[in-house]
Amino acid sequence: MIRNRVILLVEDNPNDVELTLRAFEKSNVSNEIVVACDGEQAIQYLFKTGPHAGRDPKDMPEVVLLDMKLPKLDGLGVLRRMRADERTRRLPVVILTSSKEIRRRRKASGDLLARHERAAATWAAEGGRAMRWQLPG
């Protein structure tokens, strides 16, 4: 049986959430979309805490669409937590930003994104183009 797994969208801007949901609808994406409005909500969903404590631990998202600029815990903080935990280490992440945030963050963090798990792939959509990093181990 093929399951339609969840897509976790981590985005604080309601206009961007609406635009993303509309794009999925127009593209006939039938996955359930769960929206987290800040980094803390994303962590609660991923690690089944707070309001998500009763969620089935086997139901992990198919992919995480992660904005870099978030309240409470920024996108890089969410990514660090995900890559530090065996349960979420290999989840695919698409980093979303409309700014030079990725380059600035990579530079400031000593290229943290490039130091993640070898099998993890991170995608970044920046300025309308997609870039993929195969992260070295």
pLDDT at 15: 92
How far the first Cα of the chain sits from its last, in Å, is: 34
Q: Where are the alpha helices (DSSP H) in 1-137?
A: 14-26, 39-46, 75-84, 101-108
pLDDT at 124: 45
Please answer whether residues 31 and 4 qualify as being in contact, where contact means their C-beta atoms are separated by less than 8 angstroms: yes
The pLDDT of residue 81 is: 93
pLDDT per position in the chain (137 positions), as tens?
A: 345 688 999 999 999 999 999 988 888 888 899 999 999 999 999 999 999 998 887 788 989 999 988 999 998 899 999 999 998 988 888 887 765 555 555 554 444 454 443 334 444 444 444 444 433 33
* Dist CA 57 CA 31 (whole Å): 18
* Amino acid 102: pLDDT: 55
Spatial distance between the Cα atoms of 71 and 127, rounded to a whole number of angstroms: 22
Residue 79: CB atoms within 10 A of its CB come to 24
CATH number corresponding to 7-134? 3.40.50.2300
Quick one: tokens of 96?
């979303």
Instruction: Please give the pLDDT value at position 68.
Output: 87
Joined tokens for residue 63: 């992919």
- What pLDDT sits at residue 76? 87
Task: List the beta strands (DSSP E) in the chain.
Answer: 7-10, 33-36, 63-67, 93-97, 121-126, 129-134
Q: State the number of CA atoms in the 13 A half-sphere of 71 facing the CB.
A: 6
